[in-house]
Amino acid sequence: MGQVDLIQVSKRYGTAEAVSAVNLAIADHEFIVLLGPSGCGKSTLLKMIAGLEDVSDGEIYIDGNLVNYARPADRNVAMVFQNYALYPHMTVFDNIAFPLKMTGVAKSETDQRVRQAAGALGLETLLDRRPEQLSGGQRQRVALGRAIVREPSVFLMDEPLSNLDAQLRVQTREELLRLHARLQRTTIYVTHDQIEAMTMGHRIVVMRGGVVQQVGPPQQVYDEPANTFVAAFLGSPRINLHAGRLDQGGSGATFVANGTAILLPPRLAELARAATTEAALGVRPENIHVLLDPAATDGASNALPATVSLVEPVGSDLYVTATTGDLSWTARAEPRLPVTPGQTIGLRLDLQRAHLFGESGRNLALAG
Amino acid sequence: MAIETEFAELRPPADITRATAARRKGPSLYLIAIYGILVIAAFIALVPFLYVISTSFKDTISLFQYPPEWIPSEPTLDNFRGLLADYPFVRWMLNSFVVASAVTIVKVVIDSMAGYAFAKMTFPGKDALFLVVLMTLMVPFAATLIPLFIIVRDLNLTNTYAGLILPALASPIGIFMMRQFIETLPTDLENAARLDGCSEFQIFRRVILPLIRPGLVVLGVFTFMTQWTSYLWPLVIGTKTEMFTLTVGVQSLRSLFTVNWGILSAGAVLSMLPLVLVFLFLQRYFIAGSIAGALKE
Ligand SMILES: Nc1ncnc2c1ncn2[C@@H]1O[C@H](COP(=O)(O)OP(=O)(O)OP(=O)(O)O)[C@@H](O)[C@H]1O
Ligand SMILES: [Mg+2]
């Protein structure tokens, strides 16, 4: 119980396509995260699974049953809404009890199940309050309680943490994971927060403009982004991504962007051979090393003299942004490194971990 | 085409602090001026009422005193006694009460349901239908008065409660009002109810209706007041004295050649009383918000 299959699922509003031909097989017990920027169709996809939006095209199966035409309440899914959508005129108890009441569960059983759910979420003392008398975190837990009390086979969560402050968000994230570990229910979780996606998902689904860009375990998606969009979306600070051209010169393949030439190591040179001349190079900030002595870059083909333009200490790290010609690079450096804006430094790119993207932004390493 | 390395959707949103900063201005001269105008307007509106009240307590002699007295030196209840003894005033009040209450109750039910359908449901022809409803708003009552009268007469409903009540039920303003009100409710509330197993009617009954209570009260008071003060239709449809409503009845107190201002004023004062009471009792609903707590801030 709790397996969800999406086959070529699309949603059109008029002529605009909010979700385009999504194929996804979600296993029982899986915690899958839909990740993407605002407006990319995450909520729409979730609502289609819930039955709150009609499917324009394609098929949705829950536990092998086609549910395209099933009523939301008959799909055995529960949803936590972004705004919680608590019934303002009901107490916490009545909010949690509502789904049971509507499906005709006996009063004594309702009472017991509500108390159990409330207990699991630490809401016992708040049962007589109304939503307006609760803090954001408490409301969020009531919304969660209303979902778990039904014991559905699939949980749908639409950015359930986005209205909490940073500290509460981390705490609730852990609680959600514990809850998932305990209940072992398939969870489809929508967020635009990459940290949530990375920390919570067994797999993440990166979406853009209604189209799935990549599906995979978080680390894999981070390490092997399918295209420039995924590379840019995951990781903070952002990956250094520069468009340029490939030169198959005598000394080996080089990547040239705005007059800066970078000799590619054999792994990337190999990929470059199969590509057209247009390409983009992506290097994550943690794969760029700051050398205080620019002279140290002499001779090294993957080292560039650069001028520091910005230094951002974040405590655990120091983000150093420096420019070579017209190219700007951000490096993650040691926290107390003595660099100041205007200073000339050397940047050594660890190209073994760099990505080369070809036409339409595709990662050449994943071609085929 | 160059490979995409910049993504508009990944850029941080535009600065939103500016909007909040601009709003932060203390109460201004502007506000003071507004309140000043409101106070003056309220006073101008009150003067005739005060004068009618004062007149209803005057005897026939002090009525025509010049300059007029605001507070009668010898207040009397003769006007009220005369009104209740010589005219079917109680019956008129009952008529008005029956008509206004019936119209109010039925309209609140119909309009909230229609408003919900227009606000939240999807069905073919919804927009066109709503346009038609809105268009009836623009037809002046004077234009439909005669055809309506002929219909009601042919149905033999003159001098009946049905004849007074039924035509008043078909007015679009309440539907429009309820639609606007219900539209402000977050759609996710209905979605939550749908997932929790509610039918469309249960969503309306258990989620929407409790949340639009302030709107229902406003509509109810508004409708009651309109009916209570409605004059033209009851005048046209009622020819027997015992089927007069208050407005028609009080107006009939002026006989052909003389007007007993004292009795007329007493009638007016008694007619206003129920409206004032309704307002006083339901005032808090006009101010109360209903969806606080449904949404995050
Ligand atoms: N009822 C609707 N009618 C027309 N267009 C809609 C409707 N609902 C959503 N859309 C459009 O569909 C696209 C996807 O919307 P959706 O709400 O799924 O985005 P999202 O990924 O959840 O974004 P966010 O992170 O901001 O919640 C958007 O471009 C949106 O404008
Ligand atoms: Mg959304």
Spatial distance between the Cα atoms of B225 and B279, rounded to a whole number of angstroms: 10
Q: What is the architecture of the domain spanning B87-295?
A: Orthogonal Bundle (1.10)
Residue of A173, A362, A152, A359 whose CA lies nearest to A276 = A359
Residue A300 has phi, psi (to 5 degrees) of -75, 125
Q: Which of B3, B211, B290 sits opposite A278 (nearest CB)?
A: B3
CA angle A194, A197, A200 (to 5 degrees): 145
Among residues of chain A, what percentage have pLDDT more than 70? 98
The confidence score (pLDDT) of residue B256 equals 61
* Binary contact (B3, A358; C-beta < 8 A): yes
* Binary contact (A88, B294; C-beta < 8 A): yes
CA angle B148, B150, B154 (to 5 degrees): 120
Q: Which of A50, A81, A232 sits opposite B10 (nearest CB)?
A: A232
Nearest CA in chain B to A80: B192
Spatial distance between the Cα atoms of A71 and A67, rounded to a whole number of angstroms: 8
Q: CATH number for the A239-357 domain, one of 2.40.50.140, 2.40.10.220, 1.10.260.30, 1.10.287.130?
A: 2.40.50.140
- Whether omega before B67 lies within 30 degrees of 0, making that bond cis, reads yes
- Ligand 1, atom 27, lies closest to the CA of A38
The confidence score (pLDDT) of residue A299 equals 57
Residue B289 has phi, psi (to 5 degrees) of -90, 155
Task: Tell me which CATH code domain A4-232 carries.
Answer: 3.40.50.300
* Binary contact (B10, A87; C-beta < 8 A): no
Confidence class for position B293, pLDDT limits 50, 70, 90: very low
The confidence score (pLDDT) of residue B294 equals 40
Any chain B CB within 8 A of the CB of A242? yes
Confidence class for position B262, pLDDT limits 50, 70, 90: confident
- Ligand 1, atom 2, lies closest to the CA of A13
B177 CA: distance to closest CA in chain A (Å): 21
Q: Which residues of A touch B193 (CB under 8 A)?
A: 87, 98, 102
Any chain A CB within 8 A of the CB of B291? yes
Residues with Cβ within 8 Å of residue B109, at least 6 apart in sequence:
none
The confidence score (pLDDT) of residue B11 equals 73
Mutate to test the pocket of ligand 1, among A22, A34, A40 (most ligand atoms within 8 A of CB): A40
Mutate to test the pocket of ligand 1, among A12, A15, A38, A44 (most ligand atoms within 8 A of CB): A44
Spatial distance between the Cα atoms of B266 and B72, rounded to a whole number of angstroms: 14
Spatial distance between the Cα atoms of A323 and A339, rounded to a whole number of angstroms: 14
Spatial distance between the Cα atoms of B233 and B226, rounded to a whole number of angstroms: 12
How far does residue B12's CA lie from ligand 1's centre (Å)? 18
Which of A193-207, A337-351, B281-295 bottoms out in mean pLDDT, i.e. has the lowest? B281-295
Nearest CA in chain A to B12: A37
Residue of A35, A39, A40, A4 whose CA lies nearest to A211 = A40
Confidence class for position B40, pLDDT limits 50, 70, 90: very high
pLDDT at A321 over 90: yes
Domain ranges of chain A: 4-232, 239-357
The one-letter code for the residue type at A134 is: L
Confidence class for position B14, pLDDT limits 50, 70, 90: low
Any chain B CB within 8 A of the CB of A14? no
The model's pLDDT over A177-234, given as tens digits with 9 standing for 90+, comes to 999 999 999 999 999 999 999 999 999 999 999 999 999 999 999 999 999 999 999 9
* Binary contact (A87, B193; C-beta < 8 A): yes
Q: Which of A73, A88, A241 sits opposite B197 (nearest CB)?
A: A73
How far does residue B65's CA lie from ligand 1's centre (Å)? 73
Mean pLDDT of chain A: 92
The DSSP result for B20-68, as a single string, is: HHHH-----HHHHHHHHHHHHHHHHHHHHHHHHHHHHT--HHHHT-SSP
Q: Can you say whether the dihedral through the CA atoms of B155, B158, B164, B168 is positive or negative?
A: positive
What is the DSSP-derived secondary structure letter of residue A230? H
Residue A289 has phi, psi (to 5 degrees) of -105, 135
Residues at CB less than 6 angstroms from ligand 1: A 13, 18, 36, 38-44, 192
What is the DSSP-derived secondary structure letter of residue A363? B
Tokens representing residue A64 in the block: 């092998």
Spatial distance between the Cα atoms of A72 and B198, rounded to a whole number of angstroms: 10
The confidence score (pLDDT) of residue A368 equals 56
| Burial status of residue B33 (CB atoms within 10 A of its CB: 0-12, 13-18, 19 or more) | exposed
pLDDT at B24 over 70: no
Helix, strand, coil share of chain B (percent; to 5): 70, 0, 30
Domain ranges of chain B: 21-76, 87-295
pLDDT at B228 over 60: yes
Q: Could you say which residues from 204 to 223 on chain A have a Cβ atom under 8 Å away from some Cβ of chain B?
A: 208
A78 CA: distance to closest CA in chain B (Å): 7
Tokens representing residue B126 in the block: 């919804």
- Whether omega before A237 lies within 30 degrees of 0, making that bond cis, reads yes
The model's pLDDT over B78-102, given as tens digits with 9 standing for 90+, comes to 889 988 988 999 999 999 999 999 9
Instruction: Count how many Cα atoms sit within 13 Å of the Cα of residue A355 in the half-sphere of its side chain.
Output: 30
pTM of structure: 0.82
The one-letter code for the residue type at B176 is: F
Any chain A CB within 8 A of the CB of B193? yes
Across the beta sheet with A355-357, the strand order is A260-263, A252-257, A240-249, A278-283, A355-357
ipTM: 0.86
Atom of ligand 1 nearest to the CA of A14: 4
